[in-house]
Amino acid sequence: MSLEVSIALRAEQDMTLQYRWYLDNADLDVAERYLLAVHETIQRIAEWPGLGRRRRFRAPELTQIRSIQVKKPFDCHLLFYMDGETLRIERVMHGARDLKNRLLEDPEG
């Protein structure tokens, strides 16, 4: 049985910005494959939420957050989520970013 999924506005903005980046710097096919990989990753953790790595950030808002790599070939991106009665997707961002600071920032900032 999989968890119900909710996607935070920040995560939707992250995905939209990355999709547009792929449109501008690659092509429509790559952008669409990116969204599919994110969707498949979300479906996977909705079924097995414990798969992701529990993160250890100091910010109180992030104490229960987990992360998992997006499905290949987009595995340089991390999907951040919290689980409980529902699965809440918080952010989707490149793993090389300054995560402890960027996770709380506005995606468009």
State if pTM tops 0.95: no
Q: How many CA within 13 A on the CB side of residue 63?
A: 3
Nearest to 91 by CA among 5, 4, 31, 14: 14
Domain assignments of the chain as residue spans, ordered by start: 4-96
Mean pLDDT per 10-residue interval, the chain, length 109 residues: 92 97 98 98 96 90 92 97 94 84 75
- How confident is the model at residue 109, as a pLDDT? 61
Query: Domain 4-96 is in which class?
Result: alpha beta
